[in-house]
A = this chain, B = another copy of it.
Amino acid sequence: MNVQVASAEVNRFANNERANFEAALKKLVDIPSVSMDPACKKDIARCAEAAAELLRSIGAKAEVVATRGNPVVYGELASGPGRPTVAVYNHLDVQPADPALWRTPPFDMTIDNGIYRGRGSTDDKGPALAVMYAAQWASQHKLPLNIKFIWELEEEIGSPSFEQFLTENRERLKTDSIVVSDTIWIDHDRPAIPYGLRGLQGIILRLRTGAKDIHSGLAGGLARNPLGELCQLIAECYDACSGEVKIPGFYDQVRQPSEAELEDFVKSGFSVDKFVEHHELSSVRTGDDRQAAERIWARPTFEVHGIVGGYTGPGVKTIIPHEAEAKITMRLVPDQDPDRIVQAICRFVKERLPDAEIIREGTLRPYLGDFQGPFADAGRRAVLEAFGVEPAFVREGGSIGAVVSMSEVLSVPIVFLGLSLPEHGYHAINENFDWRQASGGIRMFAHYFSLLAQMRS
C-alpha cells in the first residue's frame, strides 16, 4: 500500500467523520467516569456501555468485561486469521473536576471552533476515539490487520485490576504489538514518542521514641526527637540540593542513556526555561536542557512527600514529638529492580537508626521499550506523515502501571503514540482537546495501521 495515497484519502475520511467524532467525544466526555470517586460507579458502567456501543457502531465486536474492580471495554475489528494483529490501549476513566474552578462545565463538553472543552477530552477519551476512527478507516479499506481495543477504566487510580484482566484474557488478547495513546508531546510543534517509563517504589519511614509528646523545657536535650532523627536520616539518604542518592548500591543497575537518546531528548523541544515557566517553579537543580531532560526521564530520584509528627499549626508549640513519619518514593529507571532497592534502603536505615520502622508501599517497575526496530520505525513514519515533523524519541518521567503489566503479561513490543499537548491541561482545570490533534491522530494511526498491515505476523 502506498502511504502517500493513503494520506489524502485519510484526510477526506477524517473530515467526513468530524461531526461523528465530535458527537462521540461529547457522548463520552459528558459521562463523569471519575474512577477516584466511589459515587461515580454507575457513570463508570454507563461509560463502558457507551464505549462498547461506539465500537459496535464502527463494525467491531465489543464487550464490557467485568473485573474485581471497574470493567474493561474490549473490542475486536477482525480482518482474518494469520494477519498481523495490533492491540490498542486507551483509558476512559478520568480525573475528578471541580466545576466551580472551570470556565466551562467539565462534564458537558463544549465545541468551540475546533476546541473540545471538558474533563477527559485529552486524557484519554479524545485520543481513544482518534484511534477508533483510524481503525474504522483501516477496516473500510480492508487492511489485512486485526485490531484489538483495550479500553481501561481504572488508569487514574493505578490500574489495580488490570493485571487480573490481562491474565484472565491472555488468549484473546494475543497480539504482535501494542500501541498506547495516552502521552503528552513536549511541545505543540514537536511530536514526541516516549519509549520508556520510570518505575516507582514507595516507603514510609516511621520512628517512635515515646508514648506521648513531651514538653521541650522539661525533657529537651535528654529526650530523642524523632523528627530531627528522620531529617538526619533523610539527609544521609540523599543530597537534597543535587538530588544525588547516597545509599550504597542505589545506582548500580541504572542503564545509562546513550548519546543518541540524549540528543533526541533535547530535540524533543524540551527546555528548562519552558518547564520552569509552565510549572511555575522558582528555580530548579540545573539550567542545562540536556542534563535536565536526563534527570526527569532517565535518572532515578529520591523524593520526600511529607513529614508527619509534632505540631504543624500556626506559630510554634514547644513539644518534642513522640513519633514521626516520612513519606518517601523513589522513581526508578531501567534496569533498577525495586526489590534490590528496598533491600539497599533497609540495610542503610537499619545501620543508622535501628529502631526506625520501614514500611514498603506500592511498587511499579520501570519500563523501557524500543526506540529502534520495526515498530518504532513505523511510529516515526506515521508521525512524520500525519504531522509533517519527525518525532523525537523521549522517555516519560512518570510511571504507568498498565504498560508494565501489558509488557509482562503479553510480552510484545509497545509503542506510545500520544496526541495530547502541554496546553491541553492534562489533569488540570479547563482540560481540552482539538480537531488539529484529533484529525492528525486519525491520520497518524491510519498510517501506522497501514505500516503494521505490511509486516509479516
A residues sitting closer than 8 Å to B (CB atoms) are: 198, 200, 202, 204, 208-212, 214-225, 227-232, 234-236, 238-241, 243, 272, 275, 279-286, 292, 295-296, 299-312, 315-321, 327-329, 331, 355, 361-362, 396-399, 427
Contact = CB atoms under 8 A, between A and B. Distances in A.
Instruction: Sort A-B residue pairs by CB-CB distance and give the 7 closest, nearest first.
Output: A217-B398, A228-B240, A211-B280, A235-B235, A221-B295, A306-B310, A231-B231
Given A307-B310, A310-B305, A331 B220 contact: yes
A273 B292 CA distance: 53
21 contacts: A204-B316, A209-B283, A212-B279, A217-B397, A219-B281, A219-B296, A222-B272, A222-B275, A224-B240, A224-B281, A225-B303, A229-B240, A231-B231, A231-B307, A235-B235, A303-B320, A305-B320, A306-B317, A307-B307, A307-B309, A308-B312
A279 B210 contact: yes
Contacts of A227: 304-307
A209 B331 contact: no
A223 B216 CA distance: 35
A192 B35 CA distance: 64
The prevalent SS among residues of A at the interface is mixed
A318 B296 contact: no
Nearest to A198: B217
Contacts of A284: 222-224
Given A202-B316, A240-B232, A222 B305 contact: no
Given A329-B318, A396-B217, A222 B292 contact: yes
A163 to B, nearest CB: 20
A36 to B, nearest CB: 12
A315 to B, nearest CB: 7
A210 to B, nearest CB: 4
Contact of A279 (B198, B214, B282, B396): B214
Contact of A234 (B224, B228, B236, B305): B228
A235 B232 contact: yes
